[in-house]
Amino acid sequence: MVTRTIQLKDDTYARLRMYKVGGMTFDEVVRRLMENSAVERFHEDYREWQRRVLKNMERSGEFTEL
């Protein structure tokens, strides 16, 4: 196994720690979380979030087309 270092904000790390049970590793926690969220659904949710941000920018006048 290759060890990687990832950066997390303090509040993200605190939330992630709440998922650890018993002797689980962070790798096991992250894998279980990913198993419960399909990649396609994750990207679909992200695209929807982008559409909402763009729409809000257009409404507020902060967005101008190139």
Mean predicted confidence (pLDDT) in 15-29: 95
CA quadruple 27, 28, 29, 34: dihedral sign:
positive
Mean predicted confidence (pLDDT) in 1-27: 94
Alpha-carbon distance of 9 to 11, in angstroms, equals 6
Full-model pTM = 0.64
Residue 46: which pLDDT band, with cuts at 50, 70 and 90?
A: very high
Check pLDDT > 90 for residue 22. Answer: yes
